[in-house]
Amino acid sequence: MHRFDAARFATSVADLSELNAAPLAMVPEVAFVGRSNAGKSSTINALTGRRRLAFSAKTPGRTQLLNFFALVSRDAAGRETTLGYLVDLPGYGFAKVDADTRARWDRLVGGYLQTRRMLRGVVLVMDARHPLKPADEELLGWLAARADAHTLRVHVLLNKADQLRGDERRAAVARVERRAADLPMPVSVQLFSALKREGVEELRAAIDEMLAR
C-alpha cells in the first residue's frame, strides 16, 4: 500500500495561534490551496484514493480551517510513524463573502503560507480552463515573499484538463510556465483530472519529492 492510500485526518486548526498546541509531529508539510471551484478537495481525494477524505464548502470562505491529513507508515508490530502531512487550506474566491471573512482568510492562509517553518511545498490547484486568476496571483505573491522562497517547491496542478483539447492543454501549461519563470521559487506544472484520475501518479511523485526535502 502506498502511503497516500493510508492518509487519515489528524486535526483542524482555526487560528495560527493554535498550531503550537496542535497534536502534530514535527515533520514536513505540503499544502493544497486553490480557488473554491478548482476542485481542490476532489484532487486530495483522488490523490489518496478516498472519496470523502476532504470536503468542500458550498460557499467560498465559509469553512475557515486548516485541515491536516497524516501520511503514516506502520511497522510489523503495528506502531505508526508520521511521515508528513497534507494540509488542506480553505478555498478562495470571495464574491459572496464579506470583508471580515476575507480578512480572516488572509490572516489564516496568508500567515500559514508565509511563516510555517515545516512547509516544504505547495500544490496550487487551478482550473485548467481559467488559470492564473487574480486570486492565484495574490497567492503566488505570498509565496514569493517568503524568506526561503527559493527553496519552497510549488507544483501547479491544472485540474479539469479532461475538458480541454490537445492544443488548449499545451497552451494552458505554456502560459503557467511563462509566469513561473518570473518567480523566485521552483515551480512545476502538471495537467490533471480528478474526475478521470489523470495524473495521479505524477502528483504523488511530486509530493514525495517535496516531503523528502
So what's the pLDDT on residue 73? Answer: 86
Q: Which of 83-97, 150-164, 181-195 has the lowest mean pLDDT?
A: 83-97
Q: Binning pLDDT at 50, 70 and 90, where does residue 92 land?
A: confident
Q: Binning pLDDT at 50, 70 and 90, where does residue 1 land?
A: low
Measured distance CA(122)–CA(154) in Å, rounded: 5
Domains of the chain: 3-211 (3.40.50.300)
So what's the pLDDT on residue 16? Answer: 92
Express as a percent the part of the chain with pLDDT over 70.
93
Q: Binning pLDDT at 50, 70 and 90, where does residue 152 land?
A: very high
Checking DSSP bridges between strand 66-74 and strand 80-88, what pairing results, if any? Answer: antiparallel
pLDDT, tens only, 36-53 = 888 898 999 999 988 778
CB 72 within 8 A of CB 3: yes
Write phi, then psi, for 109 (nearest 5 degrees). Answer: -75, -45
Q: Which of 93-97, 130-134, 171-175 has the lowest mean pLDDT?
A: 93-97
